[in-house]
Chain A
């Protein structure tokens, strides 16, 4: 659906060249929710803005739905953009217009007949749960409500793609959750392709299928979310995950070399099976759980435990063997 080929973006800042993006290659499939995560300054916002050419890439190709946007003259680009919805961190609603008019705005740009606008806007306001607020102005709404208006507006032209630029970063955790649920719900109903820019791993965990991790203008890792969570490879990824799970406090324990530590990862239904109990029964070792989390990524349950095995080397190896027989993922720390 969205193909980026060798996309680079350079800025000249005080006569110095800065590479905001270098050689990005991404392939986002139709109907998936794709996350792009990274710390501020990693280039993720620039990347999503390159997708609808709010920023023109210095080099490279941006292809959405089979159309090479980078090759289009501006009038054609304007009509292509109507198929790409976008929501923003600061909502960017027209303060001088009512909620109704804000959602109607893209339809009016498109010269849709009045009657159809009426129906479509009503339908959209219902979808985002704001039908009672149609005649209010944005300043009268809360942050979460404003973002709902933003979402309704972005969906007005029935786009195939929805770009979310830090859409939940200005919201409190509870509101974030409700906006994410709304996005997930919309994605299921409309079969949209959604790209989500965020610096929070929780957002990725909650709704993304795949994720790209960015650092210094590069994509350093791109995987299914579950693989990233259970087996992060890049330092930045590990840091991002550690911040959400509180893993960073484990480091002092992990550095004590003489302890026999195992990291066990469960994915899918096995998360809820009594595997650890079975292993203890089979091997007779004693172990203690130092740290662990059991959670869900969208629908997939997953878990990760760090356990310490007490006993000699032989019983340690026996435990590893037994765990492997249960097809769980293992890492000796």
Chain B
């Protein structure tokens, strides 16, 4: 292994570009995952038994759909979705082509995490809000979300970390970013240095994200 080359690779334009691509994919897919997963999780929670909109049929349908998406391994899901991705963003490769499968895989996962953290909210508090005449909307925005904030942040952290590994996997179908680099150079050309450097960057990225998430959770925990 060539240490000098390793150090040089840190300022290699291709690696820097790939890191940027990964961050863009991560940022956008996290955003869309939250936009879709949070409401989905809230609806699933509200439909579950004994909750505000308790609806067994609706719950079963949503829960099953979530389970189906969660049980398909991401590598396979991403290939299955190629046509769908083309339809949504016009291409199935590169940064753009990676975001739809990432979101479709991560949103149901995040929705489940949302549901679990909402379940942690003391039922008595919801009841107290009802007794004060709060509407279902007010209960969602002023009770459920603020009360479960630490849990939701922890859920987002887990989801983002999962998304990091998904973005790397998407390299298999030409997804761009660090994973793509690792596969093209590291796997196909046996270029150990490039592979190690991408892995190193990914590890650092995950560490930073996890630390950030943990700090935020701590900051918002009042119990």
- Please give the residue numbers on chain A whose beta carbons come within 8 Å of chain B beta carbons, in ascending order: 52, 54, 75, 77-82, 84, 86, 88, 90, 92-97, 105-106, 108-110, 137-139, 153, 157, 163
B110-144 near A? 1/0 per residue, CB < 8 Å: 00000000000010110111111111001000110
User: Closest A-chain residue to B128, C-beta based?
Assistant: A92
Q: Is the CB of A105 within 8 A of B132?
A: yes
6 A-B pairs with CB atoms under 8 Å apart are A54-B131, A88-B124, A90-B124, A92-B128, A95-B125, A96-B149
Contacts A78-B135, A95-B223, A96-B220 known; list 13 others, CB within 8 Å: A52-B131, A81-B130, A86-B132, A88-B124, A92-B122, A94-B125, A94-B147, A106-B133, A108-B142, A110-B133, A139-B222, A139-B223, A163-B131
- Tell me whether B132 and A106 are in contact (CB under 8 A): yes
Q: Are A84 and B222 in contact (CB under 8 A)?
A: no
Whether a CB of chain A sits under 8 angstroms from the CB of B50 is no
> Which positions in B face A, CB cutoff 8 Å?
122, 124-125, 127-135, 138, 142-143, 146-147, 149, 220, 222-223
- In the complex the two chains form, what is the Cα distance from A110 to B135 in whole Å? 10
Once the chains are docked, how many angstroms separate the CA of A139 from the CA of B150? Answer: 15
| CB within 8 Å for A86 and B131 given contacts A92-B125, A139-B222 | yes
Q: Give the shortest distance, in Å, between A133 (CB) and chain B (any CB).
A: 14
A94 to B223: give the CA distance in the assembly, Å. Answer: 10
Contact (A109, B132) CB under 8 Å given A92-B122, A96-B147: yes
Contact B124 A92 (CB under 8 A): yes
Q: Which 3 A-B pairs have the closest CB atoms?
A: A81-B133, A92-B128, A92-B124
What residues of chain B lie closer than 8 Å to A157, measured between beta carbons? 132
Chain A at the B interface: mostly helix, strand, loop or mixed?
A: mixed
Q: For residue B222, which residues in chain A have a CB less than 8 angstroms away from its CB?
A: 95-96, 137-139
Query: Are B130 and A109 within 8 A (Cβ)?
Result: no
Is the pair B132, A81 in contact by a Cβ cutoff of 8 Å?
yes
Q: In the complex, are the beta carbons of A93 and B142 less than 8 A apart?
A: no
**Residue on B nearest A75 in the bound complex, by CB:** B135
Kindly list chain B residues whose C-beta atoms are within 8 Å of the C-beta of A93: 125, 128
Structural contact, A94 and B146, CB atoms closer than 8 A = yes
Q: Is the CB of B133 within 8 A of A97?
A: no
Q: Which of B122, B142, B223 contacts A109 (CB 8 A)?
A: B142
Contact with B127, one of A54, A75, A77 (Cβ below 8 angstroms): A54
Query: Residues of A contacting B147 with CB < 8 Å?
Result: 94-96
Q: In the complex the two chains form, what is the Cα distance from A96 to B120 in whole Å?
A: 13
* A163 to B128 Cα, complex, angstroms: 12
* B125 contacts across to A, CB distance below 8 A: 92-95
B223 touches A78 (CB 8 A): no
> What's the least CB distance linking A160 to chain B, in Å?
14
- Which residue of B is nearest A101, CB measured? B146
Contacts A94-B147, A95-B223 given; does A109 touch B128 at CB 8 Å? no
Which residue of A75, A81, A110, A137 is within 8 Å of B131 (Cβ)? A81
Which chain B residues lie closer than 8 Å to A77 at the CB level? 133
Given contacts A92-B125, A94-B125, A95-B147, contact A80 B133 (CB under 8 A): yes
Q: How far is the CA of A78 from the CA of B135 in the complex (A)?
A: 7
Instruction: Tell whether, in the assembled complex, residue A92 and residue B132 are in contact, meaning their CB atoms are under 8 Å apart.
Output: no
Contact A79 B133 (CB under 8 A): yes
Q: A287 to B90, alpha carbons, bound, how many Å?
A: 104
- Closest Cβ neighbor of A90 among chain B residues: B124
Name the residue of chain A whose CB is nearest to the CB of B138.
A109
Instruction: Report the nearest A residue to B147, measured CB to CB.
Output: A96
Residues of A within 8 Å of B132, CB to CB, are 81-82, 86, 105-106, 109, 153, 157
Given A52-B131, A82-B133, A105-B124 contact (CB < 8 Å): no
Q: With a CB–CB cut-off of 8 A, which chain A residues contact B143?
A: 94
Q: Which of B131, B138, B143, B146 has the most CB of A within 10 A?
A: B131
Cα A108 to Cα B220 with chains together (Å): 21
Residues of B contacting A92 in the complex (Cβ-Cβ under 8 angstroms): 122, 124-125, 127-128
Q: Which residue of A lies closest to B146 (CB)?
A: A96
- Known contacts A93-B125, A96-B222, A137-B222; is A78 also within 8 Å of B134 by CB? yes
